Amino acid sequence: MSSSNNSHTESTSDDDSSSLSASDESGESIEGDEDVVSKKYVHEQHHPSALPHLMMDDPFIKNTLQWALSVPIGLGLCPWAIQSHREGKLRIVKCDGKYASDVADKLENEISDLTCNEDDECGRLRTTLVVCPHVKEWDDFQEFGRFVSQGIKRHISRDQLLDKVTLVAFHPNFLKWYGLPRGIELGSIVHSYWGSIGQKSTNREEATIVELENKAFGLRKIKVRFTNEIMGRQEQYVPVDWIDTSSDPSAEKINGDPLPDNFMYQSPYPVIHIINNNDLSTLCLRDVSRVKRLNAKRMLSMGWKRLKSHIPEKYDKE
């Protein structure tokens, strides 16, 4: 996630750090055992009663808060949720509508509330989660992701409103990042796209895998050495999904096992996190890079089994 005042809708970018960060309440990095980290955040001041404005009799809101306390806040992943919750300013609302247009109307109102003049009383909300449990087609994560990244623009005509926020998609079936297919290892010859100034090339080139894991990217990126020099260099870190093991570009792509990084975005219902870009602008590029490194390291070290132990054992019946 970049730190600027431009509009962002995040759900499909390979460099997406989303609303997720790994920092403690003092701004220092969190090191050591992740279970200790979890206990650090889920304590008395993070009890649901610290947010009296939430409709805790609504199971969708209550279950979303339980998830937030256990994962984004409990694992120290989201600085906005952590700070907002600590100050009693984490807002969770539910959209009862069954259509994308209903959610768009809800989002428009919530964005207005979040981004209005901070000197006004309405400017008190620091971050908002909009729960969208009733839109049937959003059972499909891809459909939901497309709405958050692009579709919302067709419903909200006030472009300047979307320019003020970043929207981040969470979903029960969030699955975007995969490892390399089995049998692909250090020294394997593959075909890969390459990047230039943040842009993905339109063609693939033959390359050799020279590094499988990096502390800055976890398992989402690998280092390859292109057979032919490209843009004045041969080696480059590329997202795993830019790699293809087939020389035939029309062949069906084979993915490896899902990476634990996906867990960070797996909420109990489709949820849209609204972040005020004024808050994002407080982070420099170095901060964002550090955020990504720490989260990648944490997901890699914990693994799927340990991460899933942080999910609430039982949600309230809806």
pLDDT tens digits along 79-122:
777 777 887 888 899 999 999 999 999 999 999 988 886 555 55
Helix, strand, coil % in the chain, rounded to nearest 5 = 35, 20, 45
pTM to 2 decimals?
A: 0.77
- Decide: 144 and 270 in contact? Cβ < 8 Å: yes
d(CA 61, CA 236): 44
Q: Tell me what percent of the residues of the chain surpass a pLDDT of 90.
A: 38
- What is the pLDDT at residue 30? 34
Look at residue 1 and tell me whether its pLDDT is greater than 50: no
Cα separations (Å) of 36 from 20, 74, 76, 96? 18, 10, 10, 37
pLDDT in tens, 165-214: 999 999 999 999 899 988 899 999 999 999 988 789 999 999 999 999 87
- Sequence length of the chain is 318
Q: With b meaning 16 or more CB within 10 Å and e meaning fewer, what string describes 183-201?
A: ebeeebebbbbbbeeeeee
pLDDT score of 61 more than 90: yes
Helix/strand/coil for 313: coil
Q: Give percent of the chain above pLDDT 70.
A: 73
Tens of pLDDT, residues 126-144: 789 999 999 999 999 999 9
13 pLDDT higher than 60? no
